[in-house]
Amino acid sequence: MLRFSDGRNFGRTLTGLCLIAAPILLLIAQVVSPDVDDDNKVKELANVAAHKGSYLAGGLIFMVAGLVLVVAGFGLVHLFRGRRLTLGQVAGALVALGAAASTGFYAFTTIEYEMVNVSGLDRAQMARLLDKGQDSTTALPLFLVFLVGIVIGLILLGIAAWRSRVVPVWAGIALIVAGVLGFAGGESKAVNIVDFAILIVGFGSLGLAALRMSDEEWDAPRGAAVPPGGEAPVEPTPTPAPAA
């Protein structure tokens, strides 16, 4: 349970809940969103017009999922912290950056939505604008940040989870597979549904691991000898030197 009066408890619990909630929201958004993509942009806009409500709802849920994943990424940086910079911390930062970039895709959703929602617009001209806009490289930096953050971030996170044994080995493998599918799946609705289902397994395992930790374990750097449910290690009191 979130305790606002306890920073350790709040951070640990919020991280666990966000790690579980983010992939579930992504899966819901993918299921809700209609498959509107088409090489013929006139047909694509017609598909958007036929499913305006679910199209906008799916985009909104995707944006919320991205925001939740940003919080989870910051929590991962804390979860994998050690006496030196760790692979898990790098992965957590990349996931947070990629998730932040993903929220920008909601802008593209609203543009297509308004193209068919505003009356009096020439559908053929809007389709031509959409086609030229998608072929443009102006949005490339956003897509690169997303790909590096989510794809490479998930793969590195899976490796870090595997090496640190924070979660079972199969959970680390699930994160790696989710990262690969995130790149290979492209705009395929079916592949993305499978990808997010696998992500629930990987992120869910990390989330449960965070929720099951004691506050002392959460607060202790990785590598510190803290028994499960025990107290953080106390530095031994030095023995005073004998008097000269």
DSSP string, 164-226: HTSS-HHHHHHHHHHHHHHHHSTT-HHHHHHHHHHHHHHHHHHHHHHHHS-HHHHHSPTTS--
Tell me the pLDDT tens digit for each residue of 160-196: 999 988 899 999 999 999 999 988 877 788 899 999 9
| Residue 3, helix vs strand vs coil | coil
In the chain, count of helices (H) and strands (E)? Answer: 11, 0
pLDDT in the model for residue 241 = 55
Paired tokens of 86? 């760790």
Would you list the domain boundaries of the chain? Answer: 7-219
Paired tokens of 147? 């790909």
- Per-residue pLDDT band for 2 (boundaries 50, 70, 90) equals low
Paired tokens of 197? 């289902």
Query: In the predicted model, is pLDDT for residue 222 greater than 70?
Result: no
Fill in the DSSP letter of residue 14. Answer: H
Tell me the pLDDT tens digit for each residue of 109-143: 999 999 998 888 888 999 898 888 877 888 889 99
Query: In the predicted model, is pLDDT for residue 148 greater than 80?
Result: yes
Paired tokens of 111? 């543009």
Rounded to whole angstroms, how far apart are CA atoms 14 and 1?
Answer: 9
Selection from 157, 200, 213, 198 nearest residue 65 by Cα:
200
Residue at token pair 């992120």: 203
pLDDT in the model for residue 28 = 97
Q: Which of 21-35, 167-181, 187-201, 230-244 has the lowest mean pLDDT?
A: 230-244
